[in-house]
């Protein structure tokens, strides 16, 4: 069995996290202590008010950018970059869900010129020197964006991942109380996203011992609340979900995600399925696929036994046999009010080949899967959950 791969030397050493109930109440003090004269805030007005920062809306020191959508488009980001160039901030604050934090990361570092921004996203060109520090404040628990060095953006039909140390926050303020106002379906979808992060990072080809420890800690924390459909929204459960999101985020910051995410993007962009739900829908067939073919189609240099050990670890966290895990994932969807069948979201048999092509076309994520993805076999596996 081969040795674990080394962590990339340019990976950030770790985001400083301020964690705890009420932690967000120290955000004004944090901004003041940074000596920031001009603060660019990426958030919605409603999000700022709910978090207790409505007073920023009338402040000449704080400049709000709220012109972004869920699953942000490049045009949204470029509009924020143009505002950044006018404001010249000393500090960027991203407050909200994964989309707000992802936009804040890119607004901090991407050029406002469309061609130059696309070069950074697609051709590996260096981004700008960062515009001051970056503080991220998640109001949901699941994306892990507060501790990762990458962000997702769509340019038309094409998805890009901005993956660079300049996308890592200087500091994150994680206050589980902020998730108290989340609708139940948002809380559940975010928890599903964190669960998929944990499973995918555990078996990812880029995993190392430390990332697997983070992933297992997240997985153990998530299986209980998700098994109840996240019906318990007590402070203790909100804290548990927030910690799990951080652990899973730290894991994928080392490993990146795999094929469940690769196939989820089209399900979200074309069929409107919430991201975490889309990931879990695809994790069902992918777990079965990896279980059936880790011996014959193994791509991990550490060998089939290593891959099997990760599958066993996931099964142990769920208290199931490996063969029963896909059914258990389907039960999580059903218990939370979502169908486990892809056809119920509008994906037809006729559209399956294009769906497979789009998933396999997300090459970085698909190639990080420990088991080789054969187009015809993937199509067969998807039919089993359609």
For 323-337, how does the pLDDT look when each residue is reduced to its tens digit (9 = 90+)? 999 999 999 999 999
Report residue 385 as tokens: 């959950």
172 burial (CB, 10 Å; 0-12 / 13-18 / 19+) is buried
Please compute the mean of the pLDDT values over residues 90-115 and round it to a whole number. 96
| pLDDT at residue number 14 | 78
Give whole-number Cα distances, 301 to 203, 252, 360, in Å: 12, 19, 21
Residue 227: name the closest of 385, 336, 319 by CA. Answer: 336
Contact 173, 137 (CB under 8 A): yes
Please compute the mean of the pLDDT values over residues 243-251 and round it to a whole number. 97
Quickly state the pLDDT bin for 5 (edges 50, 70, 90): very low
Report residue 365 as tokens: 């994520």
Residue 257: name the closest of 121, 98, 368 by CA. Answer: 368
Instruction: Please state the CATH superfamily assignment of the domain spanning residues 184-383 in this structure.
Output: Dehydroquinate synthase-like - alpha domain (1.20.1090.10)
Q: Which CATH architecture has domain 16-179?
A: 3-Layer(aba) Sandwich (3.40)
Ordered DSSP codes for 34-80: TT-SSEEEES-HHHHHHHT-GGGGG-TTEEEE----SS-BHHHHHHH
Please compute the mean of the pLDDT values over residues 221-249 and round it to a whole number. 91
Residue 231 pLDDT > 90: no
- What does the pLDDT look like over 289-300, one tens digit per residue? 999 999 999 999
Residue 179: name the closest of 134, 124, 118, 244 by CA. Answer: 244
The helix or strand, by DSSP H or E, that contains position 171, with its residue range, turns out to be strand 171-174
The helix or strand, by DSSP H or E, that contains position 107, with its residue range, turns out to be helix 98-109
| DSSP assignment letter at 371 | B
- What does the pLDDT look like over 339-357, one tens digit per residue? 999 999 999 999 999 999 9
The 3-state DSSP class for residue 152 equals: strand
Give whole-number Cα distances, 192 to 146, 241, 264, in Å: 17, 10, 12
Quickly state the pLDDT bin for 2 (edges 50, 70, 90): low
Report residue 56 as tokens: 């920023």
- What does the pLDDT look like over 153-198, one tens digit per residue? 999 878 888 999 999 999 999 999 999 988 889 999 999 999 999 9
Residue 12 pLDDT > 50: no
pLDDT above 90 covers a percentage of the chain that reads: 83
| pLDDT at residue number 229 | 78
Quickly state the pLDDT bin for 10 (edges 50, 70, 90): very low
| pLDDT at residue number 71 | 87
- The ranges assigned to domains in the chain are 16-179, 184-383
Residue 240 pLDDT > 50: yes
Residue 259 pLDDT > 90: yes
Residue 46 pLDDT > 90: yes
Report residue 154 as tokens: 């769509």
**CA distance linking residue 317 with residue 324, whole number of Å:** 12
- 156 versus 51: the higher-pLDDT residue is 51
The helix or strand, by DSSP H or E, that contains position 138, with its residue range, turns out to be strand 133-138
């Amino acid at each position: 069995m081969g040795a674990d791969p080394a962590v990339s030397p340019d990976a950030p050493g770790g985001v400083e996290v301020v964690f705890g109930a009420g932690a967000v109440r120290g955000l004004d003090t944090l901004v003041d202590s940074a000596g920031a004269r001009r603060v660019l805030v990426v958030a919605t007005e409603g999000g700022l008010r709910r978090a207790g920062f409505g007073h920023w809306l009338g402040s000449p020191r704080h400049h709000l950018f709220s012109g972004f959508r869920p699953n942000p488009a490049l045009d949204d980001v470029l509009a924020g970059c143009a505002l950044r160039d006018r404001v010249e901030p000393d500090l960027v604050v991203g407050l909200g869900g994964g989309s707000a934090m992802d936009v804040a990361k890119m607004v901090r570092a991407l050029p406002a010129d469309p061609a130059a921004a696309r070069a950074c996203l697609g051709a590996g060109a260096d981004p700008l020197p960062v515009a001051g520090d970056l503080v991220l404040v998640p109001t949901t628990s699941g994306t892990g964006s507060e501790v990762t060095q990458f962000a997702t953006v769509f340019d038309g039909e094409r998805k890009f991942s901005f993956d660079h140390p300049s996308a890592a926050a200087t500091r994150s303020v994680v206050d589980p109380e902020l998730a108290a106002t989340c609708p139940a379906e948002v809380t559940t979808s975010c928890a599903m996203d964190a669960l998929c992060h944990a499973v995918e990072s555990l078996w990812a080809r880029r995993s190392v011992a430390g990332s697997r420890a983070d992933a297992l800690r997240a997985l153990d924390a998530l299986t209980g609340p998700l098994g109840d459909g996240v019906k318990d929204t007590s402070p203790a459960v909100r804290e548990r979900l927030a910690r799990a999101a951080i652990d899973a985020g730290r894991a994928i910051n080392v490993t990146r995600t795999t094929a469940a995410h690769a196939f989820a993007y089209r399900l979200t962009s074309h069929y409107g399925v919430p991201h975490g739900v889309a990931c879990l829908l695809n994790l069902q067939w992918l777990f079965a696929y990896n279980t059936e073919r880790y011996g014959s189609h193994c791509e991990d240099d550490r060998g089939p036994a290593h891959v099997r050990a990760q599958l066993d670890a996931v099964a142990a966290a769920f208290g199931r046999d490996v063969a029963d895990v896909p059914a258990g994932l389907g039960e999580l969807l059903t218990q939370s009010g979502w169908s486990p069948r892809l056809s119920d979201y509008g994906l037809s048999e006729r559209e399956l080949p294009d769906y497979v092509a789009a998933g396999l076309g997300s090459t970085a994520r698909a190639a990080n899967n420990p088991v080789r993805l054969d187009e015809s076999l993937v199509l067969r596996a998807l039919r089993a959950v359609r």
